[in-house]
Amino acid sequence: MNEMTQHPDRPLPILTTRKEVVLPGVVTPLEVGRRASIAAVDAAMAEGSNILLVPQVDPRTDVPKPGDLVDVGVLAEIVQIARQSATRYTVIARSSARVHIDKVESVGSYLVGHTSSMATVVPPDVEEADQLVERTRSALAAILAEQADTSPDNVREGLDEVDDPDDLADMAAAHVQLERDELIALLREPDVVARLRMVLPPLERLGQVLKMKGDIREQLVEEMSKEERERVLRQRMKAISEQLGEGDDENELTAYLDKIDQKNMPDEVRKAARKQVKKMRQAGASSPEHNVARTYLEWLLDIPWGETTRDTLDVPAARAILEADHAGLEKVKKRILEFIAVRKLAPDKHGPILCLVGPPGVGKTSLGKSVASALGRKYVRASLGGVRDDAEIRGHRRTYVGALPGRIVNGLKKAGSMNPVFILDEVDKLSNSMRGDPASALLEVLDPEQNSEFVDHYLEVPIDLSQVMFIATANSLETIPSPLLDRMEVIQIPGYTEREKLAIARRHLLPKQMAEHGIERETLDVSDEALMDIIRHYTREAGVRNLEREIGTLCRSAAVELAGGQAPKKLAIGHDDVPGILGPPRFFSEVADSHPTVGVATGLGWMPTGGDLLFIETRQMPGKGDVKLTGQVGDVMEESARAALSWVRSHAEGLGIPSSRFADNDIHVHLPSGGVKKDGPSAGVAIATALVSLLSEVPVRSDVAMTGEVTLRGLVLPVGGIKGKVLAAHRAGIKTVILPERNRKDMADIPDEVQRELEVVFVTRIGEALDVALAGGESVPLAAGGTSAVLPPVAADEVPARRRDAAS
Ligand SMILES: Nc1ncnc2c1ncn2[C@@H]1O[C@H](COP(=O)(O)OP(=O)(O)OP(=O)(O)O)[C@@H](O)[C@H]1O
Ligand SMILES: [Mg+2]
């Protein structure tokens, strides 16, 4: 600008500005329309484009005369001119110095001005001037930076080149909005400091406003997270690819990416998921890789990441739910309520992993469901029966064709929450095979140290299982791998007594079956006698599954009758009606019908199906003194049979057995129901009793059942499964049970009604057992009656199809 400030020595044409006040140092467009102005511009152009821009005093004046102009103005150069018409120009002028208008004359149709330069007044207080200059500079820098979207420091460098405070003041003035009067005052003011004082306040105000706006914008940008930015970009991409005709595929991918964003996945998973989308894009829709990536991605999306249900930690409410679903089962219910109470006090503590062990149909699985509803959690069940490959638990690696995640991941997907009650059904039926060890996979799932980062082979991303409440169920403890068992809290459910079954039938099974068959509550009445009849003569089980089935049959027949036209509105089923509906009774008390028999003793076994009578038959035949054991007997049981025999031999004399009996005869010990594997030492007492009976020809009481291990010295050692065994004895109508003395403590678990109806004899030596069991009575010698008096312990149609490992 400085080079232009050379003062003209002749009058110049004046462009009178009506509203605008042009300050020095700006390039500004001016609309020119008045006759005098057009003429002035034409004249200026004719003489080399220099012109004076002078505001008129009163903007309302249409045709200003010399006296109507302000006495200051700026010298300007017309840099461009657009002649829209003869009466309308747009002029771009670059203003340079302010000038004093000494005299205005009319020349033809326009005005010309005689000017003199306006000397800038040197500020008296240099320090104030410096300060003002500095403040102006920094305010300007901030404003320019804000407007140009760069850093104030960059702008500052440019500003530093403007070293003349005069120019700086004008530049500052150009950036603030000032009233016309103020602008004219600025134009008139020769003192730089005075001018800076005038522009600085509005300049700094503007700076602040802009900064505030900038802050807000920045904040918005920051808040617009990476994902959102990507979403915006993706939408643009989608629009582009739609135009390119790749719409559908790209839409699908975009939809996936949106879904990924919406899911509450851990970052690592999100990354893996996005990678799949990339793979799909690269592979193209028709390639097999596309499909593989999609299947995987869908799985990732199906996991309920971060979704949990809120636990109902209301103990009375939970108790009510548990009570409403199941009768009895006090131990389990108590444990669940404890869990809820603890959870309330220490929400972050890992819950227990319960393992419900008991015979079929005692409600293990259905109790799990009830726990879920008591806690207000989702419920899932994975059956582990027959699982022989760890991939079924933990998934196949994706390199396999048709690979899929394992049952745990499947369960989570089904549950739709990360904290369901997860029933691991039949953990005792896991099997080991060449293909890997499912139990060790399960260990990882159940280990609280590891399971917050469970990795399924297929998914390959860690999944947090630590909030899942696992409940395992099993029929037998024996076949549960011990490391697995160590991690679980075992709760035994040994089975129900007749009376408990009656209560369950009355309160749960009958109402449930009636509802299932659409029978109104008031229309059907089944008497207690009828129910008891079903329990005794139509089912033989520790649980209530068959009972429920029979009750179902009963209801079906009742439904048919109730639906029939002339049927009564109300139906009563009593004791006498049962055979008509369910057919002839199927089970009788084995004991009631049998007689004391030589060589046959009633043992008590514990099988996965519950406690049961275990008959021991012995026979002897001419031979060389061998012993043979048959009936699917395991090694341990065989050894305990040999120990029993040795004891009998060594005490033959005292027992009244001629020693020739051993030398000239072979002894065959058979345990009927050969389809069931039997093992364990607990049949010792019964085997010894049967042998003594056989050899001494004293019959064994048929209403006595016994269990216990026998040592070579004749000591009776404690055994497991007492509750189930005693219940089975009670169920079968046994009058007296012989138990090892050291099992006395287990009687605490036995319901009072059973204790009242059963005589229990505790023994420490086999001799005491013999005293009880071999107490005469009417004998049916084996030689005459054979074994026909003894029914097999389990009716054939009741043996579950699945493998049953029996441990006696
Ligand atoms: N105490 C009980 N109160 C009410 N209903 C019960 C009870 N016990 C069992 N049931 C009912 O009996 C049926 C069988 O139970 P469930 O399937 O849970 O047996 P389970 O113990 O899991 O047997 P399995 O070992 O064969 O899997 C269910 O309908 C269940 O509701
Ligand atoms: Mg079950």
Q: Using one digit for the tens of pLDDT, what is the confidence trace for 385-437?
A: 888 888 888 998 888 878 889 999 999 999 999 999 999 999 888 876 666 78
**Cα 327 from Cα 500, distance rounded (Å):** 8
**Cα 210 from Cα 141, distance rounded (Å):** 12
Residues having CB closer than 6 A to ligand 1 are 326-329, 360-366, 473, 475, 504, 508, 543-545, 548
Q: Which ligand is in closest contact with the Cα of 609? A: 1
Label residue 571 by pLDDT band (50, 70, 90): confident
pLDDT at 122: 67
pLDDT at 243: 61
Q: Which ligand is in closest contact with the Cα of 474? A: 1
pLDDT at 169: 85
Q: How far is the CA of 329 from the centre of ligand 1 (A)?
A: 11
Ligand 1 atom showing the smallest separation from residue 508 Cα: 4
**Cα 775 from Cα 699, distance rounded (Å):** 8
Residue 82, both tokens: 């657009």
Decide: residue 669, CB within 10 A, 0-12 exposed, 13-18 middle, 19+ buried. Answer: buried
pLDDT at 680: 82
Top mutation candidate among 508, 514, 516 for ligand 1, by most atoms within 8 Å of CB: 508
Catalytic residues: 682, 725
Top mutation candidate among 501, 504, 507, 545 for ligand 1, by most atoms within 8 Å of CB: 545
Alpha helices in 346-429 (DSSP H): 364-375, 390-394, 407-415
pLDDT at 389: 84
Atom 30 of ligand 1, residue of closest alpha carbon? 363
Atom 25 of ligand 1, residue of closest alpha carbon? 360
Ligand 1 atom showing the smallest separation from residue 356 Cα: 21
Lowest mean pLDDT among 176-180, 346-350, 681-685: 346-350
Q: Which ligand is in closest contact with the Cα of 359? A: 1
Q: How far is the CA of 476 from the centre of ligand 2 (A)?
A: 12
pLDDT tens per residue, range 738-782:
999 999 998 888 888 889 989 999 999 999 999 999 865 444 444
Q: How far is the CA of 422 from the centre of ligand 2 (A)?
A: 13
Task: Determine the angle formed by the axes of helices 267-283 and 288-302, rounding to 10 degrees.
Answer: 160
Q: Which helix (H) or strand (E) holds 754?
A: helix 752-757
Top mutation candidate among 321, 357, 365, 369 for ligand 1, by most atoms within 8 Å of CB: 365
pLDDT at 221: 66
Is residue 132's pLDDT more than 60? yes
pLDDT tens per residue, range 52-75:
999 999 989 889 998 999 999 999
Is residue 797's pLDDT more than 50? no
Atom 15 of ligand 1, residue of closest alpha carbon? 363
CA dihedral 515, 521, 525, 526 (to 10 degrees): 30
pLDDT at 544: 93
Number of Cβ within 10 Å of residue 555's Cβ equals 25
pLDDT at 4: 46
Question: Which contacts of 289-292 are long-range, i.e. CB under 8 A and separated by 24 or more positions?
Answer: 292/398
CA dihedral 629, 632, 637, 638 (to 10 degrees): 30
Is residue 488's pLDDT more than 50? yes
Atom 27 of ligand 1, residue of closest alpha carbon? 360
Atom 10 of ligand 1, residue of closest alpha carbon? 363
